[in-house]
Amino acid sequence: MRDDLDEILLNETEIQRRLNELAGEIQRDYAGRDLMLVGVLTGSVMFIADLLRRLPMPLRLDYIGVSSYHGATRSTGELIVTKALKLDVRGRDVLVVDDILDTGLTLAKIREMIQKLGPRSLKFAVFLEKDVPHQDNFQADYVGFHIPNKFVVGYGLDYQERYRNLPYVGTLKPSVYESDRPVL
Ligand code: 5GP
Ligand code: MG
């Protein structure tokens, strides 16, 4: 798999070091609070697992699954929920955890959905933030790394459902896209 990568943007060591800092901030900010982490499937799995083991405090964990409405273009911003929350967020301090803030459509929509359920507070942690304008000027409260506007894989992020298991982040060689048949 390493052979398919062009440039490594973030290596394992710098990712793990940054996670120590982020977890420290979160632990301080949520001390004594009723923290509930909500991971956004599937890209957040690596990030949330690494965060969790660094948060030695009482917390709950749930997942939400969303997908762009099939057939709709991204610009409509239509999302369907593929996995609903299981736990009650009412009165809880909810921290949504996702892999990457790109257009912001996904997180703006999730914010709208969860806000209606009456959490005590609602914040967002993203592993990566792309250097592009975001929907409704969406801002994450915790950001692992800022990256240029390139398509990246690894550390939970996929290309056609592959490369999520790489412990680092990089871009793919153009030959990978060229050799792939479109998945319908
Ligand atoms: P949004 O555009 O709504 O902010 O991001 C939606 C989703 O698109 C992200 O959660 C992520 O799954 C995917 N995405 C956005 N940018 C990238 C990227 O550079 N690489 C990969 N693999 N997925 C991305
Ligand atoms: Mg995602």
Task: Please tell me the predicted confidence (pLDDT) of residue 178.
Answer: 87
Task: Please tell me the predicted confidence (pLDDT) of residue 74.
Answer: 55
Question: Pairing mode, if any, of strands 121-130 and 93-101?
Answer: parallel
Pocket test for ligand 1, best of 10, 48, 99, 130 (most atoms within 8 A of CB): 99
Closest-CA residue, ligand 1 atom 13, reads 100
CB half-sphere exposure, 144, CA atoms < 13 A = 29
User: Is residue 141 annotated as part of the catalytic site, yes or no?
Assistant: no
State the Cα–Cα distance between residues 148 and 183, nearest whole angstrom: 26
Task: Please tell me the predicted confidence (pLDDT) of residue 120.
Answer: 98
Structure tokens at 14: 């710098």
CA–CA distance from 138 to each of 43, 105, 160 (Å)? 19, 9, 26
Task: Please tell me the predicted confidence (pLDDT) of residue 73.
Answer: 54
CA–CA distance from 157 to each of 32, 55, 166 (Å)? 32, 23, 9
Catalytic option among 50, 93, 99, 102: 102
Cα(20) to ligand 2 centroid in Å equals 22
Pocket test for ligand 1, best of 9, 145, 157 (most atoms within 8 A of CB): 157
Torsion 167-106-38-92 (CA) sign: positive
Site residues for ligand 1, CB cut-off 6 Å: 43, 98-106, 151-153, 157-159
pLDDT along the chain (184 residues), means of 10: 94 98 98 97 97 97 88 66 97 98 96 97 98 94 98 97 97 90 60
Task: Please tell me the predicted confidence (pLDDT) of residue 1.
Answer: 85
